[in-house]
Structure 1
Amino acid sequence: MSHGQKAKFRVLIAADTYPPHVNGAAKSCYRLATNLTARGYDVHVVSPHHTGGPDTVEYHDEATVHRLKSYAAPTHEFYRLVMPRHANRVIDNLVSELSPDVVHAQCHYMIGDAAISSAERRRIRLICTNHFMPENLDPFIPGPQFFKNIVSKRSWYDMGRLMRKANVVTTPTRLSADNMNDKARLDYVVPVSNGIDVVKYELEEQESIVRHPHPTALFVGRLAVEKNVDVLLKALTMTDPDLNVHAEIIGDGELRDSLRRLADQLGVADRVVFRGLVSDEELREAYLRADVFTQPCTAELQSLASLEAMSASTPVVLTDAMALPHLVSEGVNGYLFQPNNPEDMARKMNTVLGASREEQLAMGQASHYFASQHDHERIMDILHKIYHGATSDEVSVMISEAKLR
């Protein structure tokens, strides 16, 4: 069957990052494609090629992936740039050929821009989702801060200009929606969680996990500036010596070498394991083995890693910034600490790791309950209705009812 012949409801997902890239937005897009395909949708993804080379089409279990010729961003380790003229031409041709029922843009840069414009031109139902804040690009933009501020302001303007064309605009959290309403002048953004497979991270019947020999704090994420992994390493030096707290760090990124050097300089290298990238099964086991999950990032719009850890019934110590406070009930499933304050982080880690096993288990169970509110089946029900015509107001009502349940 050619692309033009449709037997199923067809969705075109436009994304500026997609696996094998490893980051929250790429993971969210992959999960969206996988869940849509499982529900019988015909899913296509258009994204930058993750290496050099011409436009290609890849056939994966979760989707048909259309890769566009791209170029390495000079200031970022993995981000790829697609030239606007090329993106506009190829994506417009692709939309014309596929004739999707819905275009779901996951960004407003390059590929997102082209997909939004094409969907509007062809009167195709358009959904836009925003995964990050323009300020997150600051570390990768050369020049003084005033120039970075100009770029950020322009990005917010472009977000509003483009996403205003959508039938429904979503973002993972209420905080992000409020920011977009304020800075991008969008007045109808609805918070729709990215969703996670809660059951995947639960301990199965008859399954046992060997605990760490020492109380262990886990971090999962990119080793990038905005993740503030250095705060965790510094906090480790301030934890109670009697607890002998260790740290397990999963992920890779441009700061991998400097963080290893910092661990040496701080004298905690013997208590830190840098595992790099791991398989899904190894990641699941790490969540289940961890005594506490930590997230020192100050720029999280949702933090899928935190939700995954919570699904594994793990207590959390998260920074009191952006969307993370929404994941913590103080003293119930964990604690918040002041941003970029390793001393406060250490205090909160001591509180969790110094608690009795019964108290830790109770915090873990509370974490699991909070994470279950983001179960992907519930989120997919909402997206299904969005794709088939639900308005922003109707989506808001659905989300409120889901929380009441």
Structure 2
Amino acid sequence: MRILHTTDTYAPIVGGIEVLVRALAESQVALGHDVTVLTRTPDRNTMTSPSANIEVCRDPRALASLVAGADVVHGHVSAISPLALRAVEVGARAGVPSVATVHSVWGRAWPLFRATAAARGWNDLPIQWAAVSEVAAGPVRRALGGREVLVVPNAVDTGYWAPTVRTRHTDVVTLVAVMRMVSRKRPLELVNALHRMRALVPDHVAIEAVLVGDGPLLGAVRRRVDRLGISEWVHTPGDVAHPELRDLYRRAEVFIAPATHESFGLAALEARAAGLAVVARSGTGITEFITHEVEGLLADSDPALTEHLARLCRDEATRRRIVLHNHLTRPAFDWSDVRELNAAAYVQAGAVDNLVGRSSNPEPKFAA
């Protein structure tokens, strides 16, 4: 089966959509499908480059020819995704089964997308819409006048991230955050929360915080850390490779996700699979896999987030209870499950049913 993924951003950019698209494409190649990724992201001035048996085309002018040769077009949509949206439009008009997966929370911008949908005729096209969480699906459904929107979550290789020991016993409580250093991820607010948190934890409790990630705000984050006088225990190494991040998770206990408009939270899912207790904002897609007081703690405000972090640092019993649960219970969002849901979305769009995996035939989940 010839699958065309379209995404406005892709490697070498590092982010949720970029990681997700590559992992999904690789998992489909492993099943014997012919997969191409079309993106606007350049890579050393070359138009195409191979990636684990995935053909990567970086020339948007090839859209029409790639759609004509595809059995399925899968567009990966964020807040601004002209290429991905154009691809599913072209595919749907050409009679090629087309799926548009929304990876961001449109939120208050949904009326703008509703106007765009009317102007572009999306409701008259046989595009199968999907979103990565219930939180993300709601605004999409409103923008499209109540059309059914599949919920097809993101996924990780849970076996890769799985912890190697049952519990962690260290003299230092290690907190980790992984994010693009951009305003929507709220890294500066996280630095402020860590500064306030330290005052709520007894001095004898040793704490280390590692804020992983690169982006335009990294310099501002480092300056804020220095200005607040917390650089001895708050570290900002920039981007790290997955093996190094996995090693970090294996000595850490708490993961922090401060964003308030998180559509899913792929990094948080990786940390959850690694056994960390996750502290995140409520009302985000992270609630798809984090229940308050079970896999982590959910906060409805920044002060509550600060208090939750302080509680996990000073309350060893609570911290170890959640970490032990996450060590013993693997999260559900493994590629072996989610790959099948993507295939079911292709079938829903009109693709032949042999796209669905070999061992099961799951029904896609619909937003309520």
Is TM-score (shorter-chain normalized) higher than 0.5?
yes
Counterpart of 1:360 in structure 2 is 319
Determine if contact 1:128/1:163 at 8 Å carries over to the other structure: no
Listed one character per residue, the Cα deviations across residues 219-241 of structure 1 (whole Å, up to 9, x for unaligned) are 00101111112222222222314
215 and 19 in structure 1: CA distance in 2 versus 1, 3 angstrom threshold: same
Listed one character per residue, the Cα deviations across residues 94-140 of structure 1 (whole Å, up to 9, x for unaligned) are 323xx2111111127321133123212321111111111356xxxxx
Do the aligned partners of residues 28 and 321 (structure 1) sit closer, same or farther apart at CA in structure 2, a change above 3 Å counting? same
Establish whether residue 303 from structure 1 lines up as the match of residue 262 from structure 2.
Answer: no
Instruction: Judge conservation of contact 1:129–1:170 (CA < 8 Å) in 2.
Output: yes
CA separation of 1:228 and 1:16: change in aligned 2, threshold 3 A: same
Query: Cα distance, 1:247 vs. partner?
Result: 0.9
Trace 1:197-236 onto structure 2 (pairs within 5 A).
197-204=157-164, 213-236=171-194
1:90-105 residue pairs with structure 2 within 5 A? 90-96=62-68, 99-105=69-75
Which whole-Å CA distance do the structure 1 matches of 2:338 and 2:122 have between them? 21
Is 1:34 the counterpart of 2:4 in the alignment? no
Equivalent residue in structure 1 for 2:343, among 373, 384, 390? 384
Q: How far, CA to CA, are the matches of 2:289 and 2:329 in structure 1?
A: 7
SS in 2 for 1:199: helix
Offset at 1:370? 7.0
Q: Relative contact order (C-alpha < 8 Å, sep 6+): which is higher?
A: 2
Is the contact made by 1:113 and 1:162 (CA closer than 8 Å) also made in structure 2? no
Alignment of 1:4-403 (within 5 A): 9-51=1-43, 53=45, 56-68=47-59, 87=60, 89-96=61-68, 99-107=69-77, 109-134=81-106, 153-158=111-116, 161=120, 164=123, 165-204=125-164, 213-239=171-197, 240-242=201-203, 243-339=205-301, 341=302, 343-356=303-316, 359-367=318-326, 372-389=331-348, 398-399=363-364
The letter of the residue matching 1:398 is E
In 2: Cα distance, 1:360 partner to 1:390 partner: 44
- Rounded Cα–Cα distance in structure 2 between residues aligned with 1:311 and 1:177: 24
| Aligned residues of 2:279 and 2:308 also touching (Cα < 8 A) | yes
Distance 1:286 1:225 in 2: 24
Percentage of identical aligned residues: 24
Unaligned runs of 5+ in 2: none
Contact 2:114 2:143 (8 Å CA) reproduced: yes
Letter in 2 for 1:352: L
Alpha-carbon distance in structure 1 between the residues aligned to 2:195 and 2:176: 15
Unaligned runs of 5+ in 1: 1-8, 69-86, 136-148
User: Are the equivalent residues in 1 in contact too, given 2:151–2:365 (CA < 8 A)?
Assistant: no
